[in-house]
Homo-oligomer: A and B are copies of this chain.
Amino acid sequence: MKTANKLKIVNDPIYGFITIPNGVIFELIEHPYFQRLRRITQMGMSYLVYPGAHHTRFHHAIGAMFLMQKAVHVLRLKGVEINKEEEEALCIAILLHDMGHGPFSHAMENSIIENVSHEEISLQFMELLNKKFNNRLTLAISIFKNQHDRKFFHQLISGQLDMDRLDYLRRDSFYTGVSEGWVNSERLITMLNVHDDSLVVEEKGIYSVEKFIVARRLMYWQVYLHKTGIVAEQLLMRVLKRAKELTDQGVSLPASEALSFFLKNDITKENLTESVLDRFSKLDDYDVVAAMKSWMASEDFVLRNLSEMLINRELLKIKMKKKPISSEKIAEKRKQLSKKHNLSEAEASYFVFTGDIYNQAYRMDKDTINLLTKSGKVVDVAKASDQLNLKALSKTVVKYYLCYPKSNY
């Protein structure tokens, strides 16, 4: 970040120059809580599949804020009134929307922190920062919580065509090099409008919206749910789970102070105090990788092997199926492994496991993307499409996977 003409400017390979407004937004970005996002990769361990995908939550948050500035500009040109204070609140809300992500974005959510989503933690952070910043985040928080009258404010933050998605799809496509997932975010924004305080897309944007949905679907199957990526993410959650299990059993594991805290304590919505939040703010990818590197010398077979697999990229095999994997098959594979390495069934289950992945390219049940026709009617894009069966895309597709060690293991 550098100062140019008194304006703070960030260089973005995707959008070019991004201008950081002076004032509270600049100060929020400077805050250690936000700087921490530089140490959280956007796409978890996907870089084991796509070596370019090392971009961070920090960069994504700033990119999404840039798109928000664009959206406000476009809507104003079309006569939608948005005052300075509201613009700032929208920018703050999108900037901070991902603050609650832990290491590798999603690794903790299903391993050592139970039943607390990253959105909830983001909200806690906003509340905390609101105190530190003399209530200057109050409006942003009400938008984030969808408690503001003007419904489209929240839709710009969270919806099927929000600035979050418009940035991350574009950014993830850029950094992975999966160019088919490319989304023309700026053009989509150009076609936004507001009708009855709800976000709509101009009718002529129908093909662009269709293509956006298809590109998003492609990104899911080809990138976010890439086989090898799933293995890596599952291993990451399991290594943390195992570490917590061992800690619960009284084993003392090398780990940073912040990580140790979360291994030793069960955090739920109820005990997510400010002090817990402060510890959370010290936790990032580096704690987890550093821990795994030391756990490669652990006495525990499971912890040691899982850590090695991730650090050296010697992952499990994975098979994808359209139907659930039979419990017999799993049991058999586990038995083989138990025998070979003298493991309990519980231990073997860390290396042989099944799961499902699913994706719904478009939701028709809520928050639909609506078109504004020239005659002033509002129609769900899935209904307006003359040909492309978006309804079909609203079906949830499920696939099942089976992970197990390579034969030489």
A binding-site residues for B, Cβ under 8 Å: 1-2, 4-5, 7, 10-14, 16-17, 30, 32, 35, 38-39, 47-52, 54-56, 58-59, 62, 77-78, 174-180, 182, 184, 186-187, 190-191, 193, 202, 204, 207-208, 210-211, 214-215, 217-218, 221-222, 226, 228, 256-258, 282, 285-287, 289-290, 293-294, 297, 311-314, 361, 386-389, 391-393, 395, 397
Contacts and interface: CB of A to CB of B under 8 A. Distances in A.
B256 A388 contact: no
By CB atoms of chain B within 10 A, which of A59, A211, A256, A314 has the most?
A211
A128 B272 CA distance: 50
A217 B39 CA distance: 30
A176 B49 contact: no
A389 B392 contact: yes
15 contacts: A12-B52, A13-B52, A17-B187, A30-B313, A51-B56, A179-B182, A180-B187, A180-B207, A180-B211, A211-B214, A211-B215, A256-B293, A287-B290, A287-B293, A361-B388
A208 B282 CA distance: 40
Contact of A256 (B176, B179, B190, B294): B294
Given A77-B5, A387-B361, A389-B392, A179 B174 contact: no
A210 B218 contact: yes
A118 B211 CA distance: 32
4 closest residue pairs by CB, A with B: A389-B389, A290-B290, A13-B177, A389-B392
A35 B313 contact: yes
B387 A294 contact: no
B392 A35 contact: no
Nearest to A183: B180
A217 to B, nearest CB: 7
Contacts of A184: 179-180
Contact of A388 (B11, B178, B217, B313): B217
Contact of A59 (B17, B52, B78, B391): B52
B290 A286 contact: yes
A218 B389 CA distance: 14
A218 B208 CA distance: 7
A187 B30 CA distance: 25
A30 B313 CA distance: 8
A133 B226 CA distance: 32
Contact of A176 (B11, B202, B210, B386): B11
Contacts of A178: 11
A321 B35 CA distance: 30
Given A4-B190, A12-B177, A47-B38, A282 B293 contact: yes
Contacts of A389: 388-389, 391-393
B190 A17 contact: yes
Contacts of A256: 290, 293-294
Contacts of A7: 77
